[in-house]
Amino acid sequence: MAGLIRINDDVFEEFISEKQIRERIKELADVINTDYAGRIPIFIGVLNGSFIFLSDLIREISVDCEIDFFKLSSYGDAKISSGQVRLLKDLNCEVAGRDIIVVEDIVDSGLSIAFTKKIIEKESPKSIKFISLLLKKGIPKIDFTIDYVGFEIPPDFVIGYGLDYAQKVRNLKSIYKLTRQGTIRPE
């Protein structure tokens, strides 16, 4: 059936289409363009998951801006967070005195974004805001707001549009949701 993907014996169903993603990114960018008029923000993408979202978002941004990347690891190849966040690649840009926008693909437990906030705040930015394409409802254990959210979603496992399943399927154009869990696990 169209819109269904099988990986091992897990079944995923199309959940957010390419068109819905594109339209929502345009809306988010319009708000950011207004909020940052006359400023030069640095978009900091949290790798790997945010690279597609960041590249689509940035092309709808009309204010002058810069980008940099930060790489974290917390999941290994599992579907559930290990609860451990490690820094794999640090920033190259000068954060002090700058307007920072942290770009995430998804906020699940909130551990990664909280870790990122702590590290960036140590460098004394002028301001720091957060954008995430997806936010899992009711799950994040964070005591601050995600300023710009694409879609609030139920706490299901999702893939595609940058989000991986054991490092694969980041190249899917839409976002898919796990609807039936099989018994075979990725190694």
Which of 20, 33, 73, 81 touches ligand IMP by CB under 6 A? Answer: 81
Q: Which does 132 bind (CB under 5 to 8 A by kind): ligand IMP, Mg ion, none?
A: none
Is it true that the peptide bond before 48 is cis, omega within 30 degrees of 0? yes
DSSP at 45: E
Which residue, 153, 115, 155, 156, is CA-closest to 132? 153
10 binds Mg ion (CB under 5 A): no
CA dist 183 and 187 (Å) reads: 12
- 12: CB partners within 8 A, 6+ apart: 4, 5, 6, 159, 176, 177, 178, 179
Going by DSSP bridges, is the β-strand pair 10-16/4-7 parallel, antiparallel, or unpaired? Answer: antiparallel
Q: How far lies 102's CA from each of 56, 119, 125, in Å? A: 15, 12, 12
Span from 19-27, 32-40, 88-96, 101-109 in contact with ligand IMP (CB under 6 A): 101-109
CA dist 160 and 175 (Å) reads: 5
Span from 7-15, 19-27, 99-107, 167-175 in contact with ligand IMP (CB under 6 A): 99-107
CA dist 99 and 79 (Å) reads: 33
Which of 25, 28, 101, 104 touches ligand IMP by CB under 6 A? Answer: 104
| Residues belonging to the active site | 108
Q: Which of residues 140-179 bind ligand IMP (CB under 6 A)?
A: 157-159, 163-164
Which of 54, 111, 120, 128 touches ligand IMP by CB under 6 A? Answer: 111
* Residue placing its CB nearer to ligand IMP in the complex, 28 or 159: 159
Q: Which of residues 23-52 bind Mg ion (CB under 5 A)?
A: 46, 49
Contacts with Mg ion by CB under 5 A lie at 46, 49, 105
Binding site for ligand IMP (CB under 6 A): 49, 74-75, 81, 104-113, 157-159, 163-164
